[in-house]
Amino acid sequence: MSLIQRHWQVMLVPLCLLFSFNLLHAKPTFPELTGRVIDNAHMLDDAIEQRIAARLSQHENATTNQVVVITLNNLGGYVNLPILVPS
């Protein structure tokens, strides 16, 4: 291994640790829970929002599971939120 490669590896490890430490402490902020549908990105018109809220209410009554739909303007730099895709 050449001297340049060795120095590169020595510098890379602390940099990786520094960035991973910052990512571990980064927490996304979510809006206050005010209902079943929280449209902060203003993507939904009122009729659609009411239909979604009604379906979520039916689902909660049938299963006791609570589901909330939230639209956000951006993820604040946090890119590792899970995306659920139906199979």
Per-residue DSSP letters for 5-25?
A: HHHHHHHHHHHHHHHHHHHHH
80 inside domain? no
Range of the domain at 45: 3-71
The answer to pTM > 0.75 is no
Count of domains forming the chain? 1
pLDDT at 24: 56
54 inside domain? yes
85 inside domain? no
Q: What is the mean pLDDT of each run of 10 residues along the chain (87 residues)?
A: 64 66 59 88 94 95 92 72 56
30 inside domain? yes
Pairing of strands 37-39, 69-71: parallel
